[in-house]
Amino acid sequence: MASYPITMMKMKLNDCSPPSTAAARLLPFLGRHYIHFRSSMGPFQNPSFPRTIVARSAFSFSSVVTAAMASEASVKVIDGKKVAKDIRDEITAEISRMKDSIGVVPGLAVILVGERKDSATYVRNKKKACEAVGIKSYEVCLPENSTEEEVLKYISGFNDDTMVHGILVQLPLPSHMNEQKILNAVCIEKDVDGFHPLNIGRLAMRGREPLFVPCTPKGCIELLHRYNVEIKGKKAVVIGRSNIVGMPAALLLQREDATVSIVHSRTKNPEEITRQADIIISAVGQPNMVRGSWIKPGAVIIDVGINPVEDTTNPRGYRLVGDVCYEEASKVASAITPVPGGVGPMTIAMLLSNTLLSAKRIHNFK
Amino acid sequence: MASYPITMMKMKLNDCSPPSTAAARLLPFLGRHYIHFRSSMGPFQNPSFPRTIVARSAFSFSSVVTAAMASEASVKVIDGKKVAKDIRDEITAEISRMKDSIGVVPGLAVILVGERKDSATYVRNKKKACEAVGIKSYEVCLPENSTEEEVLKYISGFNDDTMVHGILVQLPLPSHMNEQKILNAVCIEKDVDGFHPLNIGRLAMRGREPLFVPCTPKGCIELLHRYNVEIKGKKAVVIGRSNIVGMPAALLLQREDATVSIVHSRTKNPEEITRQADIIISAVGQPNMVRGSWIKPGAVIIDVGINPVEDTTNPRGYRLVGDVCYEEASKVASAITPVPGGVGPMTIAMLLSNTLLSAKRIHNFK
């Protein structure tokens, strides 16, 4: 799974204040201009960050608050933390059954190059999550100045290792390395990230099945399933078209017979298009970009963005918000994922799920 | 390229008559029901069919006709026949330059299994088109009762043959054969159809490049380019999500920064969604399904459907119409492809173009 540099957004506490003020700050590009999304989607998915929901600010929405809060009471909060725990419990049981039955436990190898603190944290969290469900974790930490050949040598070793069923290369790699070349070296049967073009192609094609579905979009759809949100025949809008979230999420929704539109940085009227959606998946990494006015009443919202914004009232000096203005959205939507505690915990759960899937497939265990 | 059984639609001459009558005949599923497209897109692309534009019927549109015909004069007819000829001329020149320079001519191998007349016609047309531009054509015709192994043996031979730069397996294959297994045997460097999942995956991913773009959708985009239709930032609707046309066409439009929505058989309100589009690509194989009321004034329409409809006034007993009701659409759109003579001729031109591209790449000829 990719990790990216954290860009701290300077924002006041009431970052969901009415569009007249907030939009000017957040969206200088509203109106006839384009939205300039970040070019790479960088969901900030560090589970060690506080999981409390953004505190409601007392000074925004003055008169609207009472009515809005009443209607908000009816919004269903999609509890990704709870669903992820359920999934981890199911995985634990399956792994135990597999071990008892054929004496095999799934193995996940992670390759980390360099000393980035955020990457080290991700890798540590993956390891902990693996251990908790009974997946054996293999870790290689290489210095920043390693060569491509060294990384490729380890990948090749894990490709051949029958104890390893999934291989992850922690991103970003040092700039002197060719990311595409290195990722392509992971054999497709162990590419639990599901980012291999062959997987994406199969995902796009009717009648074909990918070996693995990329973790974060798989987590989004799993949340919809577990909350019994009907997808077939619904209008879905995916905001963002990254290779790791937006694009595969759109393909997944289409596989489930939604009518999908993809909104991106060159879309001229994102608000108007988004407002038509029964289901919104947002994955752009722009704090509070999707406002209440973008949302059709009753829509279901999956917010993939996990964006740190400055918050001097928080001991850490920041807090996390999604791409969707939760305060406003929860007054309009029928269901919504919080940030944090929505899609975030699902990503690692899906990685564990893909690793188990791979082990079962390789050992032909039903 | 795929060929499919021809389903002749029983239609009267005025198949573009007002929705009150025509819709009942064409679209019994309008309103709150789904549109039931054909499950496989079957563009009927036999260049040997007459290329005349559908005759205007005198008895439809009574009072509207005069005004409508006046405005129709301003619609630009996108002349696929002319563009395809230009492209074939360019290819001829390139092949001549290549032959003079390195002594190599591109080679295209076609494998035909069985005695289907339409398939035989397609293969004959491909061969003629190849010869006309200087591509060497290799043909294998196997009996209906051949085994998979025999077909695979020929594919393997062409994969290894340095004179062959493109390999096509004519579809449909006899029902006792596994189409997917056979198509997967074509090495990706010679898969000039561009249907390999690895190609589709690369097409879907930002920052990746497919080796080949599937011929029909490539032809659609080429028509937009040659007619200087701006794609970036435009709203595009693709009707149909087949692996060979709709889905890759949507991916191509997105690569060019359009905001893309995909309408399909499970879409509840195809008319409403289509009416928002600046660019419409229709590829469903339903005669005259897209009516004038589906089209935003000024939209550009690429009609991939080539559907035979019964026509007793025609010596052949049928004529060809598109997915889009040309009579109505040409009064609303700013530009439109006719059927026949629009996308049809582009498909073979793009096949020649992909074969040349392959030969240039294999021989590293710039």
Average pLDDT, chain A: 85
Over residues A301-317, mean pLDDT: 96
* Mutation for A interface: B39, B183, B198, most A CBs within 10 A: B198
Question: B196 contacts in A (CB within 8 Å)?
Answer: 201
User: Is pLDDT of A8 > 70?
Assistant: no
Q: State which H helix or E strand residue B69 sits in.
A: helix B65-72
Q: Is-contact B302 B220, C-beta < 8 A?
A: yes
pLDDT score of A73: 56
Average pLDDT of the segment spanning A56-67? 34
- A310 SS3 class: strand
- Return the higher-pLDDT residue of A151 and A53: A151
Chain A and chain B share a number of CB contacts under 8 A equal to 104
CB burial class (10 A; 0-12, 13-18, 19+) of residue A301?
buried
Return the percentage of chain A with pLDDT > 90, whole number. 79
Asked whether the beta carbons of residue A207 and residue B243 sit closer than 8 angstroms, the reply is yes
Of the candidates A362, A346, A327, the residue with the CA atom closest to the CA atom of residue A1: A346
pTM: 0.84
**Three-state secondary-structure class, residue A184:** helix
- When CB atoms are compared, the residue of B34, B201, B267 closest to A200 is B201
**Residue A310: how many other CB atoms lie within 10 Å:** 15
Cα B253 to chain centroid distance, Å, stands at: 15
pLDDT in tens, chain B (366 residues): 444 334 454 444 445 654 443 333 333 332 333 333 433 333 333 333 333 333 333 333 333 333 334 355 589 999 999 999 999 999 999 999 999 999 999 999 999 999 999 999 999 999 999 999 999 999 999 999 999 999 999 999 999 999 999 999 999 999 999 998 999 999 999 999 999 999 999 999 999 999 999 999 999 999 999 999 999 999 999 999 999 999 999 999 999 999 999 999 999 999 999 999 999 999 999 999 999 999 999 999 999 999 999 999 999 999 999 999 999 999 999 999 999 999 999 999 999 999 999 999 999 999
Nearest to B200 among A201, A257, A261 (CB): A201
Q: Do B259 and A267 touch (CB under 8 A)?
A: yes
Q: Which site among B259, B269, B271, B276 would you substitute to test the A interface, given the most A Cβ atoms closer than 10 Å to its Cβ?
A: B259
Give the pLDDT of residue A72: 52
The torsion angles phi and psi of B24, rounded to 5 degrees, stand at: -65, -35
Beta strands in chain B (DSSP E): 76-77, 107-113, 136-142, 166-169, 235-239, 259-263, 279-282, 300-303, 307-310, 318-321, 335-336
Q: Residue A74: its pLDDT value, please? A: 86
Q: Chain A residue with minimal CA distance to B235?
A: A267
Task: Inform me whether the pLDDT recorded for A22 exceeds 50.
Answer: no
Tokens of A7: 């860009």
Please state the φ and ψ torsions of residue B101, each to the nearest 5 degrees.
-85, -45
**What secondary structure letter does DSSP report for B54?**
P
* Greater model confidence, A3 or B102: B102
CA of B29 to nearest chain A CA: how many angstroms apart? 14
Least trusted range by pLDDT, from A36-50, A116-130, A253-267: A36-50
CA A289 to CA A307: how far, in whole Å? 11
Phi and psi angles of residue B199, each rounded to the nearest 5 degrees, phi first: -65, -45
- pLDDT (tens digit per residue) in A72-120: 558 999 999 999 999 999 999 999 999 999 999 999 999 999 999 999 9
At A334-356, the pLDDT tens digits run 999 999 999 999 999 999 999 99
Catalytic residue numbers of B read: 126, 170, 193
